[in-house]
Structure 1
């Protein structure tokens, strides 16, 4: 009978398939077992020998190096509403200040551009980059545009970034990430930290299978690779390149650092840097802080492993999206990686072995899926044999093959080890509940990887070349942190709206600017508006209160508690303590990054109010800076007591004096020697120098000595002294100085 012949052929084919799959699984399983043995041997050696001889590096050490300038590169295509949350979260959580975020947008993505503009208005360290070509192009192309903008910013700002960090707009960064990069970037050229996906509902296997894979990959596989081969594949996020590495990539690519034809430019760069002899490192650095009322961790979770500095993000929760993303990874790593890098003697035996591990997925994913299908059929046959005693013994086709029995038993042991390893590494970060759920998710992971592999092959066949496959961006979710991006209304608009001046008067004043002053200061110096009228719209832009400040009435204890370096760097004065929060006064907007940095430096919560123009400047000179000028308030009080000037007139003169005081930084920016963002970056270095600002700028080569002399002369001309104001009152200033000196004596 034909069906009997067909069934016999099917059984024979099944036996052949079992044999082939079993041998392939054995080879892959032994490969994985080798990595397991290396990892656990190294971990045991470190625990028993290394850490008994050498003390672990604790997070306090990360604070020792001075903050180097770091640039974060973020490609953004249709990321409306996301980049604002990222900047907000970074500003509120990052324990670092000297960083800038450069967001790559596209000319045909107006919504994302508008969103980045609004974010940049609130965060001066966020910069919008518009790519040369309409999007979407590729992540590599976007990053090349961003890198070009960074280099232009360096020339304009007269600073050099020491680290270039890859992140996506949806990434949630750890507070100490930049501290870790800052600690290592002088010695390492590629620094990669782990990626740990966020959890979703327990039955969302599509999203959670990423959790399982990254927990084992970044918990075991990549550390072993780095230890044996000295090469680390970048994850595309949480990667920091040294300046030396970036310049080498630009030189190699004739001005183009990232390969625009690669779908996994991050993986490609790791191999290119290794070929150039660069130092690469994968870092699992735990930050363990003592907390008195720390919540008990989930059962099975390791306190050390679960507190490593890492990147968190949500991964796709839909099957189609996950397949698209993984097919892109497979094309880039397996097929494009082979075409570009191949297996070469110069790589060395060890690195070639890990390249084999990268590329074996092209076969292993099909083998794993085939094993699932075969196992399902064998289980059905076994069930039929058990339920129907008269049924032929189908499984007898495997009897008498002792070699196959050995292979199958070995594979069963290797599979048990594979499951155990997965449970251990998932549990160490997420707890034993997720670790156990990783067992059924193995089957779903096999399905996703099989479909992604199949899609990758179809795309390559359609294009005829793996390097011609188009970039297919994956959409991610971002955790909600509350708050909204808000666009700031312009100062001119607010001044007119609040009735401080008319539009005609504003245009007239703008037509005659004063050299060395910002627009607002010009209006005050021209007498068009008062210092209070200028402060009110600035406060409204910042979303804080506006109040006058008398520097002579400040609390001396509070002044002493605020370090001079902090006061001068951020141009703030301490006013009072309100419910445990230190209230500061500033004449301008303090961005969230700077405000968070002040709070960390003072180890207490802070907020600020906007003071009238000149009031903080006078207060800083009164309390923190030794000035050559005689005490201006004392001179004015002496004139009032002598009866040569009335009390009301004295108050008017004081307000005129205060409102026309100018800081050197304002003149520098207004004259175009620096932009405001670059000036703030320089202030971070100046705070540690111990030099006067002018001398520091000359020493750094920002301006020449003759330029500094000219700027100081301009500053002296712009801001009056009390003595010069009193001349207008026909009161000899020499007499006032003599009276004041005698009173002090």
Structure 2
């Protein structure tokens, strides 16, 4: 029985809605087919290009290698970072960049506003530690537009060049939340000035699978920065800038600045980067999208056994960052993109260029329509399924079909289904190429969530654009609050310790497999486990950690430490955080550490010492030995002469013998806390908890007394640990006798007749 309503009014409403859905279906289907043909054409262009390169290019020419990147002499690079209200992330971004980049000839310029003192303070903190960080303040309060901040940054760089009688060869645009690949500047240095502008890939960082909003950016950028920009460059010779990871030659900026009365970027645009990139072709400047990778050995888990195996993988030289995780912040960001590219771009850029360029402009601007149609299509799909389900289970009334069966409608529906299936397959392919096949599978359900975000963002963009046109108000910086990765997340992005050890052949895959098996049932770090198993030395570990964190290694000699430094960094801080002062360098206190401390620890050390802290990596036994021996200077008589120096002075041993003996002594020294853990007197958690409690209470008793009085260990157990430490690392005199450098009578003679 056909579906009907008792009330004629309700019946009229139903059929009006039904007729509206019918027209909506045909409208959506037509747009979907036209957009699908457009996407299919771009896909075929990309696949054809890849096939051509595989057949005729890659066989003749080898890909650029890391060695080639490193071999070219460094040009001067200026990194431009515009900031408004970025105090939460800018300091960590700068510190991570400075520690990570494999480049030396560069200066970072951060643009700030007079009414943003918090961001200025964070930049100044980094500035006080590094000579190659400069802060430039705009003349007016913010927020203005990002383009305005960039223009003032460029003016500030010109003043810097005049003051320092130098010129920058390369200019790089970045944002305050970017994680820059260590080789990115090397790549810019290699291709500029052969090219006047390059755009490098942007790869959003992977979040938990539940973060559909943040992860949908991965899918869109994987497709845009694997396919779209490559095809665009192939067809038009132009590349729009993404605003980050964009490098310019000096010639490019001088040319554009001269033509635009020294105003590089369009201050009326919310997407000044996109606008700038497309305008460059008008000046005859050469552009390219540079998608380069290096091969790395990496440990991956076997899909079935979950056991690690070594594999060569591509590591893209790209920009990584966290994108918004909440629906609201994603809407704000994407509405800015839609408004700037699709709506403002129509006004400011018009329809310039040849047929291919205009075609690409249509693709940029069709999002205003397709973002709405895609969600409408998703909604129609759900409605059609609901209608089919209703008719299947209803025994009384049946709904009429939304469209009448015919050859045309069958072709239209099947074409739409084909393009939907094709789009999902291609999204899977591009995400898999950029990340992995698991993320490729997740990209399929995220595609529908992305349609919802893009739909809402488009409506917001249309509203904002209409408002700006009606009121005549210029668009200001529509702020997206950024999040910078934690130290743990940054470590995950950096090369893994196991990979680096394998790279340098300090370890075999079998040994690493065994250590990882032990780690599954332990709270210890991988490096500690490998040391305990005897597979690597402390020297190997520190060398690799230095590479991983881009921190230099340092040999610690406590007998050359000035007393002033020991007083600056008190013993309780040195013991608590296992750090040791080395020297003062341009107002910075350089300290040795065995592990990279977190930001909270660095802040404590800076507050207590009153100066900024710079880090060097050292062997754990070196640091523990230095703390024990170095701080003795504060309590020892001023006229006491170090026994080793006395022996050298008297000609009993040479300076080289003393050096070797001290090196052996440091190497054999073992921290007391490690001995307590090894002998199972205390667990690692108990040691860390007790030390934290000890320093929080601020007691004046020694740590040994504190342990004993609070029941952490008995006096016999503590004495046993002390005896073990002394056996491993005897006093220097005993060690010299042990290695045959002096005799026992010589040692006793010196000890019985101390110098005064």
For these two proteins, the number of residue pairs brought into alignment is 511
The answer for the alignment partner of 2:249 in structure 1 is: 242
CA gap of 1:302–1:242, structure 2 versus 1, over 3 A, is farther
1:213-265 Cα shifts (integer Å, max 9, x gaps)? 11111011111111111111111111111111111121122111111111001
Counterpart-to-counterpart distance in 2, 1:368 and 1:130:
44
Does the CA contact (< 8 Å) of 2:218 and 2:431 recur in 1?
A: yes
Is residue 465 of structure 2 the alignment partner of residue 460 of structure 1?
yes
Matches within 5 A, 1:99-110: 99-110=106-117
1:89-135 Cα shifts (integer Å, max 9, x gaps)? 12221111111100111111111111111110111101111111111
Counterpart-to-counterpart distance in 2, 1:159 and 1:264:
31
Counterpart-to-counterpart distance in 2, 1:39 and 1:248:
32
CA gap of 1:431–1:298, structure 2 versus 1, over 3 A, is farther
The answer for the alignment partner of 1:379 in structure 2 is: 385
Counterpart-to-counterpart distance in 2, 1:352 and 1:199:
34
1:318-340 Cα shifts (integer Å, max 9, x gaps)? 11111011111111101110101
Matches within 5 A, 1:675-714: none
Is residue 329 of structure 2 the alignment partner of residue 321 of structure 1?
yes
Counterpart-to-counterpart distance in 2, 1:233 and 1:353:
14
CA gap of 1:10–1:533, structure 2 versus 1, over 3 A, is closer
The answer for the alignment partner of 1:433 in structure 2 is: 438
Counterpart-to-counterpart distance in 1, 2:329 and 2:268:
22
Match among 31, 39, 42 for residue 32 of structure 1 = 39
Counterpart-to-counterpart distance in 1, 2:234 and 2:216:
26
CA gap of 1:272–1:373, structure 2 versus 1, over 3 A, is same
Matches within 5 A, 1:384-423: 384-395=390-401, 397-423=402-428
Matches within 5 A, 1:116-155: 116-155=123-162
CA gap of 1:317–1:296, structure 2 versus 1, over 3 A, is same
- Report deviation, 1:87: 2.2
Match among 81, 97, 104 for residue 74 of structure 1 = 81
Is residue 194 of structure 2 the alignment partner of residue 187 of structure 1?
yes
Structure 2: unaligned runs, 5 residues or longer: 1-7, 490-559, 571-578, 587-591, 595-610, 627-756
Does the CA contact (< 8 Å) of 1:209 and 1:442 recur in 2?
A: yes
CA gap of 1:532–1:386, structure 2 versus 1, over 3 A, is closer
Q: Secondary structure at the match of 2:248?
A: strand
The answer for the alignment partner of 2:11 in structure 1 is: 4
Counterpart-to-counterpart distance in 1, 2:51 and 2:350:
35
Counterpart-to-counterpart distance in 2, 1:302 and 1:326:
39
The answer for the alignment partner of 1:472 in structure 2 is: 478
Counterpart-to-counterpart distance in 2, 1:83 and 1:31:
40
- Report deviation, 1:294: 3.2
Is residue 190 of structure 2 the alignment partner of residue 215 of structure 1?
no
Counterpart-to-counterpart distance in 2, 1:123 and 1:139:
25
Counterpart-to-counterpart distance in 2, 1:109 and 1:220:
39
| TM-score, scaled to structure 2 | 0.63
1:331-377 Cα shifts (integer Å, max 9, x gaps)? 11011101011113xx1111111011000001001111111222221
- Report deviation, 1:590: 12
CA gap of 1:539–1:265, structure 2 versus 1, over 3 A, is farther
Structure 1: unaligned runs, 5 residues or longer: 484-530, 549-569, 572-576, 580-588, 600-604, 610-745
- Report deviation, 1:7: 2.1
CA-based RMSD: 3.4
CA gap of 1:261–1:44, structure 2 versus 1, over 3 A, is same
Matches within 5 A, 1:339-354: 339-344=347-352, 347-354=353-360
The answer for the alignment partner of 1:202 in structure 2 is: 209
The answer for the alignment partner of 1:309 in structure 2 is: 317
| TM-score, scaled to structure 1 | 0.64
- Report deviation, 1:482: 7.9
- Report deviation, 1:177: 0.2
Does the CA contact (< 8 Å) of 1:427 and 1:433 recur in 2?
A: yes
Match among 274, 289, 292 for residue 267 of structure 1 = 274
- Report deviation, 1:50: 1.5
CA gap of 1:296–1:58, structure 2 versus 1, over 3 A, is farther
Q: Secondary structure at the match of 1:307?
A: strand
CA gap of 1:160–1:592, structure 2 versus 1, over 3 A, is farther
CA gap of 1:175–1:297, structure 2 versus 1, over 3 A, is farther
Does the CA contact (< 8 Å) of 1:71 and 1:100 recur in 2?
A: yes
Is residue 26 of structure 2 the alignment partner of residue 19 of structure 1?
yes
Counterpart-to-counterpart distance in 1, 2:423 and 2:210:
22
Q: Secondary structure at the match of 1:464?
A: helix
Match among 284, 292, 296 for residue 277 of structure 1 = 284
Does the CA contact (< 8 Å) of 1:286 and 1:305 recur in 2?
A: no
- Report deviation, 1:48: 2.5
1:196-219 Cα shifts (integer Å, max 9, x gaps)? 111222111111111111111101
CA gap of 1:114–1:146, structure 2 versus 1, over 3 A, is same
**Higher RCO, 1 vs 2 (CA within 8 Å, ≥6 residues apart):** 1
Counterpart-to-counterpart distance in 2, 1:590 and 1:228:
52
Does the CA contact (< 8 Å) of 2:45 and 2:231 recur in 1?
A: yes
Q: Secondary structure at the match of 1:160?
A: coil
Does the CA contact (< 8 Å) of 2:46 and 2:227 recur in 1?
A: yes
The answer for the alignment partner of 2:672 in structure 1 is: none
Counterpart-to-counterpart distance in 2, 1:482 and 1:42:
39
1:166-220 Cα shifts (integer Å, max 9, x gaps)? 1111100101000000001111111111111112221111111111111111011
CA gap of 1:539–1:143, structure 2 versus 1, over 3 A, is farther
The answer for the alignment partner of 1:336 in structure 2 is: 344
The answer for the alignment partner of 1:177 in structure 2 is: 184
Counterpart-to-counterpart distance in 2, 1:7 and 1:75:
54
CA gap of 1:538–1:479, structure 2 versus 1, over 3 A, is farther
The answer for the alignment partner of 1:361 in structure 2 is: 367
Displacement over 4 Å in runs of 4+: 296-299, 301-306, 531-541, 589-593
1:646-667 Cα shifts (integer Å, max 9, x gaps)? xxxxxxxxxxxxxxxxxxxxxx
